[in-house]
Amino acid sequence: MEFEGRDIISIRDFSLEEIRYILDSALRMEARMAEELCLLEGRILACLFFEPSTRTRLSFETAMKRLGGRVIGFSKAGVASVAKGENLTDTIKTVANYADVIVMRHPREGAARLAAEVSDVPVINAGDGSNQHPTQTLLDLYTIKKEKGRLDVTTAIVGDLKYGRTVHSLAHALAMFGAGLILVSPPGLEMPPEVLSDLRELGAEVTRSSLEEAVREAEVLYVTRIQKERFPDPEEYEKVKGAYKITPETLTKAREDLIVMHPLPRVDEISPEVDLTRHARYFQQVRNGIPVRMALLALVLGAE
Ligand code: NCD
């Protein structure tokens, strides 16, 4: 399987076998985490974040450093030359001269694909607008596989299914693996029609449901934040904010082995009391981000 030099832009660019290969490679990385690895010694990662981030940026930086590599970059658009009017392609063509791999987050859908087209080095999409977030999906799959031993799990996806990029990537990947999907969203924030037809093409069993019913049936409850910053009209946000909240009471009818996941950051959609229940797995997701991103960096740089 060839990963060297490849861009990671959309989960749709990967076959089932390739996703399995990445997850296996992440498992091998995790087993070697205690060692001092130097697989990427002398290599440089550029992290270009035009949008806020905590986990994605810091975990890519950690992953690179754990592999012996170094990191350059910026964490907000205001400090880069875009603030002077530079266009994205000039920024990318420049940074491709400095780094061996670029991780980029950008508010515009399609920005990562555009960057990959003009870059001589691999580009990894760390989120482009409300479109895709493939590396989050890979760590989500890694978490589900570890927790459940399989990926054809009945998964309820709850929240902002319209603007949430993590759920667009995740729903596609889970459908590839034969998972049943239960969609729960406030009115107006439903899964976009093009994502739904893609899921149908994959033969996925997709239903819409209330939160209550979804909690009873699901093996995985994947909760997301309402993407306030993507609403064209702030009044529309006001209408849906706080529309759902997972508390220990919400979970009383859940299966014993239900796991609750969330890409984080959470705002108020999962109460902190849920953290203490047997269901919570969102901080495990955070932890799993490291071996998954180590594997991805090593693969695209031809070191794994
Ligand atoms: C997500 C994102 O940026 O899309 N965060 C993340 O990378 N874990 C989720 C979100 O912002 O709601």
Q: How confident is the model at residue 184 (pLDDT cuts 50, 70, 90)?
A: very high
pTM higher than the cut 0.75: yes
| Co-location of 93 and 165 in the same domain | no
Q: How confident is the model at residue 81 (pLDDT cuts 50, 70, 90)?
A: confident
Mean pLDDT of 101-115: 98
| Co-location of 163 and 261 in the same domain | yes
Residue range(s) defining the domain that contains residue 180: 134-286
Segment 39-80, tens digit of pLDDT? 999 999 999 999 999 999 999 999 999 999 999 999 998 888
| Co-location of 173 and 127 in the same domain | no
Domain-located, residue 1: no
Confidence (pLDDT) at 82: 86
Domain-located, residue 5: no
Q: For the purposes of burial, counting CB atoms within 10 Å of the CB of 73, is it exposed (0-12), middle (13-18) or buried (19 or more)?
A: buried
Ligand 1 centroid distance, CA of 109 (Å): 14
User: What amino acid occupies position 21?
Assistant: Y
| Co-location of 269 and 187 in the same domain | yes
Ligand 1 centroid distance, CA of 130 (Å): 10
Mean pLDDT of 221-237: 96
| Co-location of 95 and 143 in the same domain | no
Domain-located, residue 274: yes
Ligand 1 centroid distance, CA of 127 (Å): 8
| Co-location of 184 and 73 in the same domain | no
Ligand 1 centroid distance, CA of 92 (Å): 23
Domain-located, residue 240: yes
Confidence (pLDDT) at 85: 85
| Co-location of 144 and 116 in the same domain | no
Domain-located, residue 227: yes
Ligand 1 centroid distance, CA of 218 (Å): 22
Residue among 75, 264, 268 to mutate when testing ligand 1 (max atoms within 8 A of CB): 264
Residue among 132, 166, 281, 282 to mutate when testing ligand 1 (max atoms within 8 A of CB): 166
CA distances from 249 to 211, 252, 273 (A): 12, 5, 10
Domain-located, residue 45: yes
pLDDT above 90: residue 106: yes
| Co-location of 162 and 104 in the same domain | no
Domain-located, residue 229: yes
| Co-location of 280 and 150 in the same domain | yes
| Co-location of 16 and 123 in the same domain | yes
Index of the ligand 1 atom closest to the CA of residue 263:
8
CA distance 60 to 54: 10
Going by CA atoms, what residue is nearest to atom 1 of ligand 1?
263
| Co-location of 139 and 247 in the same domain | yes
Domain-located, residue 160: yes
Residue among 125, 136, 170 to mutate when testing ligand 1 (max atoms within 8 A of CB): 136
pLDDT above 90: residue 1: no
Pocket of ligand 1 (CB under 6 A): 55-56, 127, 133, 136, 165-166, 224-225, 263-265
Ligand 1 centroid distance, CA of 1 (Å): 29
**Number of structural domains the chain divides into:** 2
**CATH number of the domain residue 102 falls in:** 3.40.50.1370
| Co-location of 142 and 93 in the same domain | no
Q: Which residues contact 255 (CB under 8 A, 6 or more apart)?
A: 216, 218, 219
Can you name the residues that pair with 260 across neighbouring β-strands?
Answer: 221, 280
Going by CA atoms, what residue is nearest to atom 12 of ligand 1?
225
CA distance 132 to 128: 6
